[in-house]
């Protein structure tokens, strides 16, 4: 089946390459954080069988604490050993096939080509390889089948924001249970082996990118590009630089009294929460007060912001500004007046203003002796506002650039809480329902009959959701 190109491959792995000049953002000093996260690539590298030297040694790009956790996860460990066996078959196919077909050796005895630890781990699972077969393609086909059948068990290893289908396809060899599919994958692999990450087989279109597992930003960008897609929210992939964090710390250190004031209409509670989680608690304690100015129609996520930041709750003041007219918010006026009051009456000299609204430049200009650190968002801030900040040396940073990648629990909890609140309004008591129905239908039942009917039919009611999202309740009859 395999051709002479199946010889063992010995070329050196391509070393990491930095972003090209075209890839680098204009403000590279502030944006080199694109290269500092390795949560996703560590998980993919572990699962697809990158060898231990590169995984735990080499240039140290992978996260040891993540690897240690995955080693304790049976489903992740099984996937890794399956991929290790497949990768070693791809690298040594001709030698293994010859040993099996011409020398009569059993596949599980070929530990000079296949790690004994991987064979042993797979043997202890519920996977039964056709060891009696003398055809290596039979073994490889079952390995591919096992990987395809079990890769979805590893879905919860990755956060919900990443497209799982794109990750899953990396592990599934196309037509990998058929000789033709195996041969096609092998030819592509052998002809381009140095273009695969650490010479490890994955299902992707090989091209010159350097080290695909260089960092999360680079990997996800390439992964999505393979599918003609783009990942837009970089806060899932990166964190602000230490330089930005240190400037925030310096701002707090140089201020005797600092208030953080938030325009909830023009700020993201989850990005701001990520900022609080990214910065040192010791530094955040230097914030004397957090004042939230909220519109009744603003995001309910601000309740979660209050609950999920490590700061004294007594420091948080949440103001919901009622509207006189439905189309006119008083939030801007109230917030502006509060900044003025805090500066002149309460001796607050420094403000962390969280808003992308350019209207607040007016109050900043009118209080030149106050110091401002402005937190804005990429998608909401205009080039004109940035230009004004630069011209007046106002320190600003992006609240949506703080790392949220592996922890989407806040957003999940916000969603689940709103769903539960909605469902709580719709709930009913099944026992009361039965009593009301008996009255309406004038059907008589003694208590024993009611209990049997309830246990058989109502206790096991199920929700059914249609393709259009319509929810109905099914009663088993």
Same-domain check for residues 207 and 86: yes
**Final residue of a structural domain among 236, 255, 280:** 236
Instruction: State yes or no: pLDDT of 20 exceeds 60.
Output: no
In tens, the pLDDT along 280-325 reads 888 888 999 999 998 776 666 788 788 778 888 899 999 888 876 6
Question: What integer pLDDT is reported at residue 245 of this predicted model?
Answer: 86
Mean pLDDT for 204-222 is: 91
For residue 363, tell me if it sits in a domain.
yes
Mean pLDDT for 142-154 is: 96
Is the pTM higher than 0.75? no
Range of the domain at 57: 4-236
Instruction: State yes or no: pLDDT of 348 exceeds 60.
Output: yes
Question: What integer pLDDT is reported at residue 25 of this predicted model?
Answer: 41
Same-domain check for residues 227 and 279: no
Number of domains in the chain: 3
For residue 330, tell me if it sits in a domain.
yes
Instruction: State yes or no: pLDDT of 26 exceeds 70.
Output: no
Same-domain check for residues 160 and 12: yes
In tens, the pLDDT along 369-423 reads 999 999 988 878 888 888 988 888 889 888 877 877 666 656 776 777 778 878 8
Checking phi first, is residue 291 left (phi over 0); if not, alpha (psi -120 to 50) or beta?
beta
Of 118-127, 194-203, 392-401, minimum mean pLDDT range: 392-401
Mean pLDDT for 137-164 is: 94
Question: What integer pLDDT is reported at residue 74 of this predicted model?
Answer: 96
For residue 129, tell me if it sits in a domain.
yes
Same-domain check for residues 350 and 213: no
Query: Residue 261: what are its φ and ψ, rounded to 5°?
Result: -125, 130
The DSSP code for 228 is: T
* 3-state secondary structure (DSSP) of residue 288: strand
Question: What integer pLDDT is reported at residue 1 of this predicted model?
Answer: 46
Average pLDDT of every residue of the chain: 85
Buried b (16+ CB within 10 A) or exposed e, 279-294: beeebbeebbbbbbbb
Q: Name the token pair of 462.
A: 């199920």
Question: What integer pLDDT is reported at residue 299 of this predicted model?
Answer: 62
CATH number for the domain spanning 346: value is: 3.40.50.1010
Nearest residue to 208 (alpha-carbon basis) of 432, 14, 422, 390? 14
Q: Name the token pair of 43.
A: 């998980």
Which one has a higher pLDDT value, 120 or 400?
A: 120
Q: Name the token pair of 241.
A: 């630089």
Instruction: State yes or no: pLDDT of 342 exceeds 80.
Output: yes
Contacts of 7 (CB under 8 A, 6+ apart): 94
For residue 335, tell me if it sits in a domain.
yes
Q: Name the token pair of 350.
A: 């420094």
Strands 316-320 and 287-294: parallel
For residue 409, tell me if it sits in a domain.
no
Mean pLDDT for 237-248 is: 80
**Final residue of a structural domain among 236, 253, 279:** 236
Distance CA 427, CA 140 (A): 53
> CB neighbours (10 Å) of residue 370?
17
For residue 89, tell me if it sits in a domain.
yes
Distance CA 343, CA 338 (A): 8
> CB neighbours (10 Å) of residue 272?
25
Between the CA atoms of 347, 351, 356 and 358, what dihedral angle is there, to the nearest 10 degrees? 50
Distance CA 160, CA 406 (A): 9
Distance CA 323, CA 326 (A): 6
Calculate ∠ Cα 36-38-42, nearest 5°: 165
For residue 412, tell me if it sits in a domain.
no
For residue 255, tell me if it sits in a domain.
yes
């Amino acid at each position: 089946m395999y051709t002479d190109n199946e010889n063992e491959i010995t070329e050196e792995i391509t070393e990491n390459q930095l972003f090209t000049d075209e890839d680098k953002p204009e403000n590279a000093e502030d944006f080199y954080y694109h290269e500092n996260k390795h949560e996703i690539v560590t998980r993919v590298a572990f699962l697809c069988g990158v060898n231990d030297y590169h995984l735990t040694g080499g240039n140290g790009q992978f996260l040891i604490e993540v690897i240690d956790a995955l080693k304790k996860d049976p489903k992740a460990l099984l996937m890794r050993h399956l991929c290790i066996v497949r990768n070693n078959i791809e690298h040594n196919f001709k030698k293994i096939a010859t040993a099996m077909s011409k020398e009569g050796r059993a596949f599980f005895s070929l530990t000079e080509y296949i790690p004994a630890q991987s064979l042993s781990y797979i043997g202890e699972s519920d996977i039964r390889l056709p060891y009696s077969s003398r055809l290596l393609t039979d073994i490889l086909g079952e390995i591919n089948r096992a990987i395809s059948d079990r890769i979805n068990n590893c879905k919860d290893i990755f956060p919900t924001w990443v497209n799982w289908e794109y990750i899953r396809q990396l592990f599934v060899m196309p037509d990998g249970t058929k000789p033709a599919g195996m041969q096609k994958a092998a030819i592509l692999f052998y002809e381009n082996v140095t273009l695969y990450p650490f010479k490890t087989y994955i299902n992707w279109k090989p091209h010159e990118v350097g080290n695909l597992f260089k960092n999360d930003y680079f990997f996800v960008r390439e992964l999505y590009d393979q599918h003609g897609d783009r990942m837009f929210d970089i806060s899932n992939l990166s964190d602000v630089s230490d330089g930005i964090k240190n400037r925030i710390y310096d701002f707090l250190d140089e201020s005797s009294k600092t208030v953080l004031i938030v325009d909830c209409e023009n700020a993201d509670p989850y990005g701001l929460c990520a900022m609080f989680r990214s910065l040192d608690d010791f530094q955040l304690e230097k914030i004397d007060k957090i004042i939230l100015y909220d519109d009744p129609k603003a995001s309910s996520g601000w309740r979660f912001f209050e609950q999920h930041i490590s700061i004294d709750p007594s420091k948080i003041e949440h103001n919901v500004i009622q509207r006189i007219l439905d189309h006119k918010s008083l939030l801007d006026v109230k917030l502006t007046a509060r900044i003025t009051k805090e500066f002149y009456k309460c001796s607050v000299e420094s403000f962390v203003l969280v808003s992308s609204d350019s209207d607040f430049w007016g109050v900043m200009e009118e209080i030149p002796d106050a110091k401002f650190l402005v937190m804005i968002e990429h998608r909401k801030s205009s080039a004109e506002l940035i230009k004004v900040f630069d011209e007046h040396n106002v320190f600003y940073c992006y609240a949506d650039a703080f790392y949220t990648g592996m922890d989407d629990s806040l957003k999940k909890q916000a969603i689940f809480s709103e769903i539960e609140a909605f469902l709580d309004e719709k709930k009913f008591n099944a026992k009361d329902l039965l009593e009301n129905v008996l009255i309406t239908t004038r059907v008589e039942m003694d208590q024993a009959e009611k209990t049997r009917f309830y246990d058989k039919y109502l206790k096991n009611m199920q929700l059914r959701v249609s393709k259009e999202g319509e929810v109905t309740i099914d009663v088993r009859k």
